[in-house]
Amino acid sequence: MGPDLVVPPIYSPLKPAIHPHHAAIDARAAAWAEQFRIGSEELRGRLVKHDIGTFAARVLPEGREEVVAIAADFIIWLFGVDDGYCEEGELGTRPGELMGALSRLLRIAQNPEVPMLAEDPLAQGLRDLRYRMDLYGTPGQVARWIDALREYFSSVVWEASFRSAGTVPDLNDYTLMRIYDGATSVMMPLLEMGQGYELQAHERDLTAVRAAAEMAYFIICWDNDVFSHHKEARAGGFYLNAVRVLEVEHDIPRDQALSMAIAQRDRVMNLFLRTAEYLQTYGSPQLRQFLDSLGHFIRGAEDWGVSSIRYTTPDDPANLPSTFRDTPSDDSPEPLDIPAISWWWDVLPEQDESRPSQGIAQASVDSFLHPIAQRTA
């Protein structure tokens, strides 16, 4: 594999936070995984040591404890699918069979009462998660969770097609699919449930709000690719990772690809901060809470990524940082040359000092549309 990559401290101006009952949440998540037998005994033995409950406690540091516990159990469940089915299981190289298996699980999420997969541990765990979500989420939030789960399932089947062929996608396609197969969007309804509100469609569906959420997905997934590269590369099998994709796309050494990946996420981080600041100014209290939660999600994933033994791999230590930096390695305001996401840089309106502030709902909706949409609106 060549020499180990040394990951430098990455740019993170976001403040760390953690739920005060994080230790209990982590312990309950481990017990839940054992109760429902998530993954093989060997996989489960690893997952319960990865501080996944602590991760959820970082994402929702002020959330209702019952919902933080749902988030923790759900993340373990997702790793049961991603590690057990996709990366380490036979289905990971059989896209058609994987699609069938995931579609059956999706049916359980849609209706946990269906008489299917009664003896399947992942299905039973998913039933439990759905019943608990019904207690704390609105029907709309649960429906959006199911839709996001469908996106996640589709993206991991796409990844399986490359795993079966042993090939690497181009950067644009990888970027587009990574923001789904990172299972980030599927956590969004839980951010709302945890704080006891529902973001209304007139704000949630604004182009700039959707872009801000996707920026968060990108940062979380690129960070994960940076922190997990050692673990994945040393595993000896096929893996898809932003560092590897950049290495192949640009035909550059691995350390240079790492620097490029970090520069890309730094540029998106700056854009996220600018976009969130603007939306915070004009948005409702619910939107402001949602944007705060995105920030906690990003920073929580970072803190967990550099500390969990899932990525530090103490038996074969990864060269991960223990601190963060407060300046970006790339502060360019220019869009990244990735068509699937370059439109993010167009969502902020031009500043007009003469125009009075009237709030998102009245004055600013048109300015949140992409320029192409403005021409057809």
- Report whether 55 contacts 302 (CB < 8 A): no
The mean pLDDT value of the chain amounts to: 91
Q: pLDDT at position 140, please?
A: 96
Grade residue 376 by pLDDT with cuts at 50, 70 and 90: very low
Buried b (16+ CB within 10 A) or exposed e, 248-273: bbeeeebeebbbbbbbbbbbbbbbbb
> What's the token pair of residue 167?
């090939």
Segment (H or E) for 17: none
Find the largest Cα–Cα distance for the chain: 65
- pTM across the whole model: 0.92
User: Among residues 149, 243, 210, which one has the least CA distance to residue 341?
Assistant: 210
Residue owning tokens 């029907």 = 139
Quote the CA–CA distance of 300 and 1 in Å, as a whole number.
Answer: 30
- Report whether 275 contacts 211 (CB < 8 A): yes
Roughly how many angstroms between the first and final C-alpha of the chain, as a whole number? Answer: 52
Residue 245: is its pLDDT beyond 70? yes
Any bridge partners for residue 6, and if so which? 319
In this prediction, residues 94-108 reach a mean pLDDT of 96
pLDDT tens digits for 291-305? 999 999 999 999 999
Grade residue 233 by pLDDT with cuts at 50, 70 and 90: confident
Q: pLDDT at position 84, please?
A: 85
pLDDT tens digits for 125-172? 999 999 999 999 999 999 999 999 999 999 999 999 999 999 999 999
